[in-house]
Amino acid sequence: MQTSKRPVIARRSVLLLLVLAALLVPVPAFHAPQTHRISIDASQFEYSPGRLTVNRGDTLQVTLTASDVVHGFFLDGYEIDARVEPGISQQFTVSADRSGKFNYRCSVSCGPLHPFMIGELVVGPNEPLWRASAIAVIAAAAMLIGAGTRRSA
Ligand SMILES: [Cu+2]
């Protein structure tokens, strides 16, 4: 009895596509550390911007303002805590030396929705790790396909 070769060919095609995909995974350009001057405005009950994205190694020079009442700014993972009153801006520096996602949240009770006043700082990606992960996923997929091919042969 002859086994159909179609599934094997299909799997090999997928494997080939995965290899091509691996070759096409863009090598992220190396980012020299940058200094970002960032203005963050706090108001009931949000930060503007509510999301910051930088690369690991960058420095953030933050100017924090409040446009209505007194607010706070606590950055998880970096232990930065600032308090800002309307009309009096606060400045502080963050050295983004840890990659990941870190919430910044209001640390001054400013009203009923105060607990939901949360923003997000994204530091990264850690480029070599990101690339290694992509290759690992592709390798795992290739192994699964290889195992499937052996079983059907
Ligand atoms: Cu608040």
H/E/C letters for each residue in 39-89? EEEEECCEEECCEEEECCCCEEEEEEEECCCCEEEEECCCCEEEEEECCEC
Mean pLDDT of 131-140: 79
**Burial code of 24-54, b = ≥16 C-beta within 10 A, e = fewer?**
eeeeeeeeeeeeeeeebbbbbbebeeeebeb
Q: What percent of the chain has pLDDT over 90?
A: 58
Q: Give the sign of the dihedral formed by CA 113, CA 115, CA 116, CA 122.
A: positive
pLDDT for position 70: 97
Distance between CA 31 and CA 44 in Å, rounded? 35
Span from the CA of 45 to the centroid of ligand 1 (angstroms): 7
Lowest mean pLDDT: which of 5-14, 22-31, 83-92, 118-127?
A: 22-31
Instruction: Please tell me the distance between residue 81's alpha carbon and the centre of ligand 1 in angstroms.
Output: 13
pLDDT at 120 over 80: yes
16 or 60, which is more confident:
60
CA of 68 relative to ligand 1 center, distance in Å = 10
Q: What is the pLDDT of residues 33-79, one digit of tens each?
A: 899 999 999 999 999 999 999 999 999 999 999 999 999 999 999 98
Considering only residues 47 and 145, tell me which one the structure prediction assigns the higher pLDDT. Answer: 47
What is the chain's mean pLDDT, rounded?
Answer: 86
| Nearest Cα residue to 60 out of 84, 90, 31, 92 | 92
Distance (angstroms) between ligand 1 centre and the Cα of 65 equals: 13
What's the confidence (pLDDT) of residue 14? 81
- Tell me: pLDDT of 26 over 70: no
What secondary structure does DSSP assign to 109-131, as a single string? Answer: --STTGGG-EEEEEE---HHHHH
Instruction: State in Å: Cα 138 to ligand 1 middle.
Output: 44
Distance 152 CA to ligand 1 centre (A): 61
Give the 3-state secondary structure of residue 35: strand
Q: What is the Å distance from ligand 1's center to 113 Cα? A: 8
Residue 150 pLDDT: 62
Does residue 71 contact residue 106 with C-beta atoms inside 8 Å? yes
**How many Å lie between the centroid of ligand 1 and the Cα of residue 117?**
6
Q: How close is the Cα of 89 to the center of ligand 1, in Å?
A: 16
Q: Look at residue 152 and tell me whether its pLDDT is greater than 60.
A: no
Average pLDDT over residues 74-101: 96
Query: Taken in order 10, 15, 18, 24, is the CA torsion positive or negative?
Result: negative
CA distances from 89 to 14, 71, 123 (A): 56, 11, 24
Region 114-143 average pLDDT: 82
> What is the CA(38)–ligand 1 centre distance, in A?
20
Tokens of 39: 């203005």
